[in-house]
Amino acid sequence: MEFEWKGVMPAITTQFTADEKLDLSMFKVNLDAQLEAGVHGIILGGTLGEASTLLPEEKRELTKFTKDIVGNRVPVVMNIAEQSTKGAIHAANIAEEDGANGLMLLPPMRYKADDAETLTYFKTIAKNTSLPIMIYNNPVDYKIEVTIEMFEELIKEDNIQAVKESTRDITNVTRYINRFGDRLKILTGVDTLALESLVMGADGWVAGLVDAFPAETVAIYNLVKSGNIQEAIEIYRWFMPLLELDIHTKLVQNIKLASVATGIGSEHVRAPRLPLAGEERERVLNIINKAMKTRPVLTQVTS
């Protein structure tokens, strides 16, 4: 399946039952809501997907289940976050075998690789899969930065095609465009910088709060790309208190609780995570409830 790295790509949550089994029925509810809203791709197995708690066979089940529902309507991208090059190649090959259309690739987990090791890691994986790859650049959380100079080397691999830009430095969007033109697609990975990144030329948005508010997320993207910036800003300002729930250690619990309010998810998480409780829960619920009361009426806009 040929596809472009662009548009809104939800880092979709994995739904669980109260006893921590995969809840494919609720997962389908959320997935259907994403597709109905007009998202441009689905990303499985990210932080919001609680991938670190999933068994290998569960990841395979989610990939196959998602592909059965999605078909060829939008690409399905599997996140690869492994500790070893060998493990990452194996995970990439399994994802391809199970029908994934692309990969989102993190640097090595746990070990803080230097620039040469990080380049070798990414390039070796790229040489061992035919799938297109988006490099996840998030030095804030993963302590390894993929620099402009490193991307100069990485894009020599034809299937390294995109970056999930999560450095929190908005000027990187312009730096990428100035250096690489259209060769490296840019998807913003920080919800609270999404509109700014899109205005500056980012091709897409790997989104988090989309898991609870898909229509609003897609509307912002479409409005920016169609030049209706002021209308996008109005929705974005309403959205910001919710978007800030994504830049938090308990982003999974926050976003799942928000999805309960919109009827497209449950708040069940897998241990060691626990559902929000006490004052913390009340604080997040207050944000969600206020947003629900002032939720904007959307107009139909396509980019």
Along the 303 residues of the chain, how does pLDDT read in single tens digits?
A: 778 999 999 999 999 999 999 999 999 999 999 999 999 999 999 999 999 999 999 999 999 999 999 999 999 999 999 999 999 999 999 999 999 999 999 999 989 999 999 999 999 999 999 999 999 999 998 899 999 999 999 999 999 999 999 999 999 999 999 999 999 999 999 999 999 999 999 999 999 999 999 999 999 999 999 999 999 999 999 999 999 999 999 999 999 999 999 999 999 999 999 999 999 999 999 999 999 999 999 986 655
Helices and strands in the chain, H and E counts = 12, 8
Domains of the chain listed by start with CATH number: 7-293 (3.20.20.70)
Of 18, 94, 22, 90, nearest to 62 by C-alpha is: 22
DSSP 244: G
- Following DSSP, what letter does each residue of 133-164 receive, concatenated? EEEEE-HHHHS----HHHHHHHTTSTTEEEEE
State the pLDDT at residue 299. 80
How far apart are alpha carbons 250 and 293 in whole angstroms? 24
State the pLDDT at residue 33. 98
Of 71, 4, 78, 80, nearest to 35 by C-alpha is: 71
Return the bridge partners of 159, or none: none
Calculate the CA 187 to chain-centre distance.
Answer: 9
Cα-only R_g, the chain: 18
* Cis status of the peptide bond prior to 272, with omega within 30 of 0: yes
Contact 59, 78 (CB under 8 A): yes
